[in-house]
Amino acid sequence: MKRRTLLTTALASGTAGLTLAACGAGEDPLSAAPAGEGSGSSAAVVVGSANFPESELLGEMYAQVLEGTGVQVERKFGIGAREVYLQALQDGSIDLIPEYNGALLSALVEGGVPQDVQTSEEVYEALQEALPQSLEVLEQSEAQDKDSLTVTRATAEQHGLVAIPDLVPVAGQMVCGGAPEFAERYQGLVGLEEVYGVEFAGFRSLDAGGPLTVQALLDDDIQVANLFTTDSAIETNDLVVLDDPENLFLAENVLPLIRSSANTEAITEALNAFSATLTTEKLTEHLARVQVDKQSVAEVAQAYLAANPVG
């Protein structure tokens, strides 16, 4: 039996209309011509990111690693959801982006991810067959950042919530909130209903594990939030991440996704060396410097690479 996914991959259909809404900033980072067509030097590697702080931080880390080896880099951060940046990779608007192995596999596999594919190694192996010929992933890091269902400590204690199945009798009284795409993805409301039988009273479209979602949870505008497990807001606000006993949310190791035509042996070696340094603890710590301490992604990435040199 296979997991079912309703996420329509951008590899098969155009998604340009999603870009501005996904970026949420009124400025489209993909508005420039694709690399080699007027956006900058054709020799530059265009590094992109999704529209949430951790992706931008990882994208900046990749960019600085490559610049440290003499590679010319152009940055296009804050692109938007996976549906948008996969299309950007396909059309050459960007060359490289940080990804999460399980979420990427779910986006690519037609008909759903097999239920026996759950661990980091199983997901990585399955990715090799799922990727289109024009794209490849480099070595994955130990660091993981998984989707989660998270509640306040008060909500957890009130309803005895420890794991996702505990939501079944009370979800009909609750509103869930998160990124707009969470409502349509298998690793979202679709899978929660199919795997666990969890159906919420409603869903509020907010941001991808960002401040709007966190604040809505704290204000009790929503009672359950889709947050990323490395989010510093979880510890800062004493939030409770609900266990996922059926592994709806797959292994989510951080790894680079790159266009094969843009890759070189030097790029592979540099990014593999970087990924070998990255752990969940380190990623969580440095993301907190961005989210809590309000440091720029550039200075946090520089500090990380100074403490964890790759060559």
Say yes or no to pLDDT of 39 above 70.
no
Same fold, 16-144+251-307 and 147-241: yes
> pLDDT tens-digit profile of 191-213?
999 999 999 999 999 998 788 99
What HEC string does the chain produce?
CECCCCCCCCCCCCCHHHHHHHHCCCCCCCCCCCCCCCCCCCCCEEEECCCCHHHHHHHHHHHHHHHHCCCCEEEECCCCCHHHHHHHHHHCCCCEEEEEHHHHHHHHCCCCCECCCCCHHHHHHHHHHHCCCCEEECCCCCCECCEEEEECHHHHHHHCCCEHHHHCCCHHHCEEEECHHHHCCHHHHHHHHHHHCCCCCEEEECCCCCHHHHHHHHCCCCCEEEEECCCHHHHHCCCEECECCCCCCCCCEEEEEEEHHHCCHHHHHHHHHHHHHCCHHHHHHHHHHHHCCCCCHHHHHHHHHHHCCCC
Choose the weakest-confidence range: 17-21, 87-91, 250-254, 290-294. 17-21
Choose the weakest-confidence range: 18-22, 27-31, 85-89, 105-109. 18-22
Q: Where are the domains of the chain?
A: 16-144+251-307, 147-241
**Rounded CA separation 14/124 (Å):** 26
Does domain 147-241 sit in CATH 3.40.190.120? yes
Mean pLDDT of the chain: 87
Mean per-residue pLDDT, 221-248:
93
Say yes or no to pLDDT of 275 above 90.
yes
pLDDT range class, residue 15, cuts 50, 70, 90 = very low
Report pLDDT for 35.
Answer: 42
**Rounded CA separation 79/9 (Å):** 16
> pLDDT tens-digit profile of 153-183?
999 999 999 999 999 999 999 999 999 989 9
Say yes or no to pLDDT of 250 above 70.
yes
Report pLDDT for 17.
Answer: 37
**Rounded CA separation 110/131 (Å):** 11
Q: Give buried/exposed letters for 240-269 (b at 16+ CB in 10 A, else e).
A: bbbebeeebbbbbbbbbbbbeebbeeebee
Report pLDDT for 32.
Answer: 54
Mean per-residue pLDDT, 237-247:
94
Mean per-residue pLDDT, 77-85:
91
Q: Which of 30-34, 158-162, 233-237 has the highest mean pLDDT?
A: 158-162
Q: Is the pTM of this model over 0.85?
A: no
Pick the CATH number of 16-144+251-307 from 3.40.1160.10, 3.40.640.10, 3.40.190.10, 3.20.20.70: 3.40.190.10
Cβ(302)–Cβ(57) below 8 Å? no
